[in-house]
Amino acid sequence: MFKLCEKAIDIAASHKAAFGDIRIIETRSQSLAYKNGEVGVLDDGCSLGFGVRVLLDGAWGFASSNEVTGPEIERVSLLAIEIARASARLKKGDVRLAPEPVYRDTWQTPYLIDPFAVSIETKLDLLARVDAVLRKDRKVKSSTAFMNFIREHQYHATTEGSRIEQTLLTSGAGCSVDAVDKGEVQTRSYPATHGGQSLGLGYELIESLRMLDHAERVRDEAVALLKAPECPSGKLDLIIGDNQLALQIHESVGHATELDRVLGYEESYAGSSFATLEKYGNFRYGSPIVNLVADATVPTGLATAGWDDDGVKAQRWHIVEGGVLKGYMTNREFCHAVGDTRSRGCSRAEGFGNIPITRICNLSLMPGDWGLDDLVRDTKDGIMMENNRLWSIDQKRVNFQFGCEIGWLIKNGRRTKMVRNPTYQGITPEFWNSCDAICNARHWKLWGVPNCGKGQPGQTAMMCHGSSPARFRGVTVGVRPK
Amino acid sequence: MISAQRDRKLCDKIFSFARKKDAEVIVFSSESALTRFADNIVSQNVSNRSLEIVIRLVEGGRVGRVSLNHSGDAELKAAVESAIAMLKTQKPDPELLPLPKPLPVRENTALYDEKTAAFSPMARADRIAEAVEAAARDGQLASGTFDNGWSRVTVANSRGVFGSHLESSAAFKLTVKDGDGMGWADDSGAVVGEIDFSGVSACARAKARLAKAPRDVKPGRYTVVLEADPVANLLLFTSIYGFGGQFYQEGQSFMAGKLGRRVMGPNITLEDNGLDGPSASMPFDFEGMPRKKVVFVENGVAKAVAHDRRTAAKAKAEPTGHALPNPNPYGPIPTSVCLRAGGSSLEDMVKGTKRGLLVTQFHYLNVLKPIELELTGMTRNGTYMIEDGRLAYPVKNLRFTESLVAAFNRVEALSPTRKVKSAFFGGKFLVPAAKITDFCFSSATSF
């Protein structure tokens, strides 16, 4: 494949491009689901294509195609050059890339069991058995059990001389049930909502989830929620489960610290950010116990790789340290804006057909020192919430509102009754500053976000967020139309 | 541009590889280009040529589905063999429908324009430059996108179904920042020559100017005048959760058990029309069934939901041509939803409002309670206080938490002019502006 890459590199160099690269990507994917007792999804896909990026006359051009042939690489490379020249029609200065060493190396996601070597029959059999357990209640109107696997084989060549080959593997699975009665719909999922659990692992992830062992509880909780009282409205101390907290990190810290958003380059679509440059290094994002670390090297992370799509080596750094904003998600183009001479390596593209953009890295809340039982015992009037059901946040990542699948009230240090439709709303810095307790490493878990949408044209990226349950004081809960 | 004839040959080749098993083929081909700008410069500029071939085999209650993006004989043969092997992995499902026989399908040939498909990167840059330079002259910052391209979708099966639909598209979306004021406007269509670039530019710039120095506003219930874009985004969620046959049959739709009963205000008529008019689209669905007009709500009364063959069989009804590619977990979803116009212009709605809010856009909508269609989301890019029939001042953005079923019972006025809007997840929504009383805003933000 690298031989084919040379065509694009030669064309970019012959046109005196300041930078050029080509990514040839071969993808194998498999999605399976049982839904309501039937095969709901069954797809085995493969794709091959390439994308060429050129920095010419100080501006970017990108073009891609599914035909990986010499003549097509030539056509697409010349189109990328034409596009770069058009981009230069409107510029303030030349795009300048932070330097990065040249690499000629390979990287591969470590795994134990190749998911594509496990038979479809075995996978469907497990999903059918899980689905059958989920459906064993007449109030269950919709059930699903699913698995997804993606293997992406990338060849990345740059005019600077890097030749990087990476094979990234992700596996994911989960199950979900909707119980319906008297105008009420209640959903429970395992192990998480929105795609279950996805990690950079092989089929061993599916085995470790033990979905069959959890299906009955998931079903019974969904049915029980139908008769549970509504989440009360008011201000309560809120203990957020590790899975929901992962999404809270994603939405209110991850996106807020993407440097392209901060600089206004996402203004027209996803929005910008309140975490503006003058806050860098001095803004109290959260309480002193809040430490958030970005890490492209964390084992099993969905954003874990050897290099990003700018050819920048994987790194680990603080975004929030001791509650203070200390870092951003950066790429080679924008890192100058925060005075950095090197990118943090957050430039990634979905597949071959998209230009790399700044993405959230794996971003985790570091564990504290509380046991979960001790935290509950220490809470007088509170609520616990688990598994996301609803998420919404404003275009500067300030005002958010989340809903969870299930909540439990806490009275005088004891977890009491289950409540349905639990929601909470807050303002990002106020919320993180109200964090007064984080559970310890025994409760810490890495959660996959396999479906993060951003960019125009829209791209999906994957990343992980690690967290353990944490407590936030005096949060507005039970938001509903009044 | 790829011809329907090429796709027919491709499908026939796949059928021949399928060893007389029932086979369905969906071919997606496209070339798309998009120039993105921000901070008054071009920030991204891309072009993509793509092909996706989805092959589904059905035999004896078993299904095998593979997808690939190459059309060489060797790749196609290997893909079909893989699908055949997949058939052996399942227990037969007695409810799995065989592939359908063909039904007459009309063509929508008016949605393709060669010039739109081929609009060049420099031509896009020139149009963007006009808007950017106008913004810069006033000290404003422009960001947005201008995209164009073509797409063809072909659906065929070995029982004779064949439909192929070609569309071109272009869209210009502009966000303008004027100090702390934001404004937005867009225009889109199948023909780039019909896009009102200067109108979009003038509208977004004026809105941003008018939105400067926004004031704090207390959350609470307000009369709202919603422009077409926020109406389209509310209808997107109404369509997914309310009008799809599967959600209806699972009891998760607000329409469940209410056909023939009043569910919305008497001024609300909602239908899906992908056949003609501004919301016209692909005239068949992903099973190759002809798309039909479906009236979901007529004068506030629930009338029908959209069906694919599976939900139609369960309901003992005819499919309405709204199937997604099978198998899928969602069932049929309508994508060309039209809200009947009213008689009060947006200006009249403002004039007739003692105190309320004018909303340009909503942002990041999501559902908590599907049966009540209880949604939350933010206002964006121009929210203005209306006092005594005029726009009094801009306000900071607000979060709403509201039941759409309840809100559609409080629609006081609809505008006579309608616009086609592509909501967040796509589709073509033909919608008027709307005035709704007592719309619940639950919290505020800082800008």
Return phi, psi of residue B177, to 5°. -110, 125
Largest CA distance in chain A: 73
Model confidence pLDDT, tens digit, residues A187-224? 999 999 988 999 999 999 999 999 999 999 999 999 99
A247 neighbourhood in chain B, CB within 8 Å: none
> Structure tokens of B266?
């008497």
Contact B401 A421 (CB under 8 A): no
What mean pLDDT do residues A139-161 have?
Answer: 97
Does the pTM of the predicted model rise above 0.90? yes
Q: Does A184 touch chain B (CB under 8 A)?
A: yes
% residues pLDDT > 90 (chain B): 93
Ranges of beta strands (E only) in B116-214 are 141-157, 162-178, 181-189
Model confidence pLDDT, tens digit, residues B240-264? 999 999 999 999 999 999 999 999 9
Q: Does B171 touch chain A (CB under 8 A)?
A: no
Q: What is the DSSP letter of A196?
A: S
Q: Does A147 touch chain B (CB under 8 A)?
A: no
Q: What residue type is assigned to position A353 of the chain?
A: G
B96 neighbourhood in chain A, CB within 8 Å: 38-39
pLDDT at A75: 97
Write the CB contacts of A208 (distance below 8 Å, at least 6 apart in sequence).
Answer: none
* Alpha carbon distance A13, A19 (integer Å): 8
Asked if A323 contacts A292 with a C-beta cutoff of 8 angstroms, the reply is no
Contact B251 A49 (CB under 8 A): no
Q: What is the DSSP letter of A48?
A: E
Model confidence pLDDT, tens digit, residues B336-346? 999 999 999 99
Smallest Cα distance from A29 to chain B, Å: 9
Smallest Cα distance from A298 to chain B, Å: 30
Q: Is B75 helix (H, G, I), strand (E, B) or coil?
A: helix
What mean pLDDT do residues A66-87 have?
Answer: 97
With CA atoms as reference, report the closest residue to A405 among A423, A387, A417.
A387
Residue B424, pLDDT > 70, answer no
The secondary structure of A381-445 as a DSSP string is EEEEEEEEEEEEE-TTS-EEEEEEEEEEEEETTEEEEEEBS-EEEEEHHHHHHTEEEEB-GGG-E
A170 pLDDT band, cuts 50/70/90, is: very high
Residue A73, pLDDT > 90, answer yes
% residues pLDDT > 70 (chain B): 99
Q: What residue type is assigned to position B102 of the chain?
A: P
| Mean pLDDT, all residues of chain A | 97
Model confidence pLDDT, tens digit, residues A320-365? 999 999 999 999 999 999 999 999 999 999 999 999 999 999 999 9
What mean pLDDT do residues A126-141 have?
Answer: 97
What mean pLDDT do residues B169-175 have?
Answer: 97
Residue A185, pLDDT > 90, answer yes
Asked if B302 contacts B340 with a C-beta cutoff of 8 angstroms, the reply is no
Tell which B residues from 265 to 294 touch A, by Cβ distance under 8 Å. none
Model confidence pLDDT, tens digit, residues A412-436? 999 999 999 999 999 999 999 999 9
What mean pLDDT do residues A22-36 have?
Answer: 96
Model confidence pLDDT, tens digit, residues A286-311? 999 999 999 999 999 999 999 999 99
Largest CA distance in chain B: 73
| Mean pLDDT, all residues of chain B | 96
Tell which A residues from 73 to 102 touch B, by Cβ distance under 8 Å. 76, 79-80, 82-92
B68 neighbourhood in chain A, CB within 8 Å: 45-47
Classify B35 in phi/psi space as left (phi over 0), alpha (psi -120 to 50) or beta: beta
Residue of A nearest to B29 (CA): A66
Contact B125 A90 (CB under 8 A): yes
B90 pLDDT band, cuts 50/70/90, is: confident
Q: Is B204 helix (H, G, I), strand (E, B) or coil?
A: helix
What mean pLDDT do residues A235-257 have?
Answer: 97
B109 pLDDT band, cuts 50/70/90, is: confident
Residue B405, pLDDT > 70, answer yes
Tell which B residues from 214 to 233 touch A, by Cβ distance under 8 Å. 221
Distances (CA, A) of A102 to A18, A98, A156, A161, A450: 15, 13, 12, 6, 30
Residue indicated by tokens 């019909």: B194
What mean pLDDT do residues A248-258 have?
Answer: 98
Is the ipTM of this structure higher than 0.90?
yes
> Structure tokens of B105?
């399908």
pLDDT at B425: 67
Mutate to test the interface with B, among A48, A247, A398, A399 (most CBs of B within 10 A): A399
Lowest mean pLDDT among A319-328, A460-469, B103-112: B103-112
Asked if B394 contacts B382 with a C-beta cutoff of 8 angstroms, the reply is yes
Q: Which of A65, A390, A396 is the closest to B376 by Cβ?
A: A390
pLDDT at A408: 98
Contact B122 A85 (CB under 8 A): yes
Distance of alpha carbon A167 from the chain centroid:
19
Q: Does B46 touch chain A (CB under 8 A)?
A: yes
Q: Does B402 touch chain A (CB under 8 A)?
A: yes
